[in-house]
Amino acid sequence: MADIWRPVKGVKIKVAKTGLFLFQFAHAIDMEGVLQRGPWMFDNHMLIMERTHLGVQIENIPLYHVDFWVQVHNLPVGLMVEKAGTKLANYIGAFVEYDKNNNSSFWRQYMRLRVQVDVRQPLKKDSRVKNKGGE
């Protein structure tokens, strides 16, 4: 993973127990970059990553949530706004971020949302959205 992430100041990877690892970044900017660019896969397995805090045992950190970028297609232009995106994201999981950079083109094809998903729940897909007029 260190070869893929390429942290400027480096990272140490330790096995805490089978299937549970501790990634210790030498600089907070490297850690934030890895967390923001995820989710990550290793050997066809999802890496569920969470910040640790002093005094908390690694085994007691709940590893149930992953942030995903979601594309929402076929929305009318008037609904491709952050307010509508927040509601859609909260239906899927929990709203994290609206991609304002994707909002720069009038002809954009979809809305991008970062959504925190509980990996213990089944994914939601192919949902229909109605506007105030019922369309």
Instruction: At 10, give phi and psi (nearest 5°).
Output: 95, 165
Instruction: Answer yes or no: do 47 and 7 share one domain.
Output: yes
What pLDDT, on the 0 to 100 scale, is given for residue 105? 63
Question: What pLDDT shows up at residue 106?
Answer: 64
Residue 12 has pLDDT above 90, yes or no: yes
The answer to whether residues 46 and 72 belong to one domain is: no
Q: Report the percent of the chain where pLDDT is more than 90.
A: 45
> Residue 4, by phi and psi: left (phi above 0), alpha (psi -120 to 50) or beta?
alpha
Number of folded domains that form the chain: 2
Question: What do you get for the CA distance between the two ends of the chain, in Å?
Answer: 46
18 domain-assigned: yes
**Rounded CA separation 80/78 (Å):** 6
pLDDT category, 63, cuts 50, 70, 90? very high
- Is 135 inside any structural domain? no
- The mean pLDDT value of the chain amounts to 87
User: Are 29 and 72 within one domain?
Assistant: no
Q: Which domain holds residue 87?
A: 66-118
SS (HEC) of 4-56: HHCCCCCEEEEEEECCEEEEEECCHHHHHHHHHHCCEEECCEEECCCCCCCCC
